[in-house]
Amino acid sequence: MVELSSRGQRVADQIQRELATLIQLEVRDPRVGMVSITGIDLSRDLAHAKVFVTVLDTVTNSGAITNLATAEEDDLDLLQVRDNVEALNKAAGFLRSQLSKRLALRAVPKLRFFYDASIENGQRLSGLIDDALNADKDQRPELDFDNLRIED
């Protein structure tokens, strides 16, 4: 990730806010579901923007819709995620033109969308930590893990 100037960071933040609104209200592609923009990596010259998105609701192999916050790693339908990213990349020109109407910039950066798996990885790691703590509780029942404090 390129270190941005304060102006570059403000532009990236503004693009993130406006894109979130545009995707929610203006994109009519049925392949685009509930997506959240997790970050924007803007080039130094503000000509290119990598937009990182996470798919919040996805369809599992069984056809049921699950929320990412409660989904297991195996439940995520990667085809659905890829379809969302492809649809957003197809709509990139439209979104760029809409951004040009909303932002006071001389040139609006070209947009490319990428899937951000950091939330999914964080949930998987959190689950592994919870499993390890539960296994430790089962092996050492004499310790009260809920009231255990680590002191400096």
**3 state SS of 49:** strand
Going residue by residue through the chain, which has 152 residues, state the pLDDT in tens, using 9 for 90 and above: 567 788 889 999 999 999 999 999 999 998 898 999 999 999 999 999 999 999 876 544 444 444 545 545 445 578 889 999 999 999 999 999 999 999 988 999 999 999 998 888 888 899 999 888 888 888 876 666 566 666 65
Task: Work out the angle at residue 134's Cα, subtended by the Cα atoms of residues 54 and 141, and round it to the nearest 5 degrees.
Answer: 165
pTM: 0.72
Domain ranges of the chain: 6-141
Identify the pLDDT of residue 144. Answer: 62
* Record: fold of 6-141: GMP Synthetase; Chain A, domain 3 (3.30.300)
Kindly state the DSSP code that residue 43 receives in the 8-state scheme: -
Is 92 within 8 Å of 27 (Cβ atoms)? no
Is 33 within 8 Å of 80 (Cβ atoms)? yes
Residue with tokens 């949930």: 123
Burial classification of residue 38, based on how many CB atoms lie within 10 Å of its CB (0-12 exposed, 13-18 middle, 19 or more buried): middle
| Cα distances (angstroms) measured from residue 82 to each of 27, 41, 89 | 17, 20, 10
